[in-house]
Amino acid sequence: MKAFKLTIIIVTLLFMFVTFVCCSGDDGKNTGEGKKIQLRISHPYGPNHPWHKGIEKFQEVLKNELGAQVQLEIYPNASLSEGNERTMVEQLGVGTLDLAVFAGSLAGTEFSAFAFPFLFDSRKTVMGMLSSPIALELLAKTKAKGFHGLAYWENGFRQITNNVRPIHTPADITGLKIRAPQVPQTLASLKALGANPTSVSLGELYVALSQGIADGQENPLPTIYNERFFEVQKYCTVFNYQWTPAILAINSDLYNTLPDNVKKAMEKAAKEGGEYASSLIAEQDKILIGELRATGIMEVYEPTEDELALFKAATSTQELRSNFDNIVGKDLLDRFIAEVHKIQQK
């Protein structure tokens, strides 16, 4: 009798276990209507960066729209990816990471069109371009990488810093070892300016600059300030030589399992989070020149119109245009630049 009772208990427990497994779904990510969804989102910068603040806005909008249906955990500094932004994007594509904000250049070479040197005359032109048909066409191409682009965010206008000398003209860049993202459009642009691009991960860049492994680097002002590169760099030149986008994306397979109400809320949250992050970057662009100067460590130089003309001339060569044609595709780049000019004329 005891053996029979024990058998009944074991069978009952096994039935309860199987029922629990079947009902609990995919490790807390059951995406049926009304079920709680646990997600992880990452980005490559620290908690003070505008992207982090934008993700917090994304999180806030999701909560307002969905209540407790979606639980979002934020991981700054690419902390789930050993501090490597490229690894982070690879994880997003294969589904070991749910969402991420990252440089658009990592989503495909076609996004290099944004980075053609001195293409954008203002942030107003940029914002108009992000809602253009060709920009939305590019965003849709992210599906081929295994993720769904929810919205464009802003990486910002890029500046250059170094520890060797002030940069007033392209001649001052000649021979400097400048750390750059290992993407072809940035490497080609820096070479056109006379620099010697070098590879260092963002997570190791501060130490590399302090040890002289690289003479300098190029990044938007919020990154230069929030990553405290001013502590290990003497000179900064603000010349807006490139504007580059960021993308908030979610793994495609995961996105396809989400109920419609969550998809709709995510699209709204991604847009509002990106707008908030962009507003912070625009605001910081206005004030950070003064903040960097106030450190007493870094000299910040803004080229004159004549000096800017020299930089533009150095990057207006047929050789560089041919490089971009090969990277982006000539027809696509022609259409892209024509759309920018159209927006500027408005």
Distance in angstroms (rounded) separating the CA atoms of residues 69 and 5: 41
CA nearest 166: which of 241, 240, 238, 231? 238
pLDDT the model gives residue 10: 41
Residue 16 lies in a domain: no
**3-state SS class at 241:** strand
pLDDT the model gives residue 294: 95
CB atoms within 10 A of CB 141: 13
Secondary structure element (H or E) that encloses residue 6, with its range:
helix 2-24
Locate the DSSP E strands across 59-183.
70-75, 99-103, 147-162, 177-179
pLDDT the model gives residue 39: 98
Chain segment 87-103, per-residue pLDDT in tens: 999 999 999 999 999 99
pLDDT over 70 (residue 304): yes
pLDDT the model gives residue 201: 85
pLDDT the model gives residue 328: 95
**295 to 159, 233, 287: CA distances (angstroms):** 18, 12, 13
Residue 85 contacts by C-beta under 8 Å, 6 or more apart in sequence?
Answer: 44, 78, 102, 103, 106, 201, 202
Least confident segment among 17-26, 79-88, 215-224: 17-26
Residue 123 lies in a domain: yes
pLDDT over 80 (residue 308): yes
**3-state SS class at 178:** strand
Phi, psi of 123 (to 5 degrees): -70, -30
Cβ-based burial of 53 (10 A; exposed 0-12, middle 13-18, buried ≥19): middle
Residue 35 lies in a domain: yes
Residue 68 lies in a domain: yes
Task: Give the mean model confidence (pLDDT) for residues 14-31.
Answer: 40
Distance in angstroms (rounded) separating the CA atoms of residues 199 and 222: 21
pLDDT the model gives residue 33: 56
Least confident segment among 189-203, 236-250, 252-266: 189-203
Can you give the pTM of this predicted structure? 0.83
Task: Give the mean model confidence (pLDDT) for residues 203-217.
Answer: 95
Chain segment 66-76, per-residue pLDDT in tens: 999 999 999 99
Chain segment 183-209, per-residue pLDDT in tens: 889 999 999 999 999 988 888 999 999
- Domains: count for the chain: 1
Q: Percentage of residues in the chain with pLDDT exceeding 90?
A: 83
Alpha helices in 199-259 (DSSP H): 202-210, 221-226, 252-257
pLDDT over 50 (residue 272): yes
Residue 335 lies in a domain: yes
pLDDT the model gives residue 11: 35
Half-sphere exposure of residue 213: CA atoms within 13 angstroms, side-chain side: 14
pLDDT over 80 (residue 13): no
Q: What's the domain range around 112?
A: 24-345
Task: Give the mean model confidence (pLDDT) for residues 18-22.
Answer: 36
| CB 222 within 8 Å of CB 41 | no
Residue 38 lies in a domain: yes
Residue 66 lies in a domain: yes
DSSP for 38-79, please give it.
Answer: EEEEE-SS-TTSHHHHHHHHHHHHHHHHHTTSEEEEEE-TTT
Residue 228 lies in a domain: yes
Chain segment 127-160, per-residue pLDDT in tens: 999 999 999 999 999 998 999 999 999 999 999 9
Report the CATH number that the domain containing residue 36 is assigned in CATH: 3.40.190.170
| CB 81 within 8 Å of CB 97 | yes
CB atoms within 10 A of CB 286: 9
At position 237, the amino acid (one-letter code) is: T
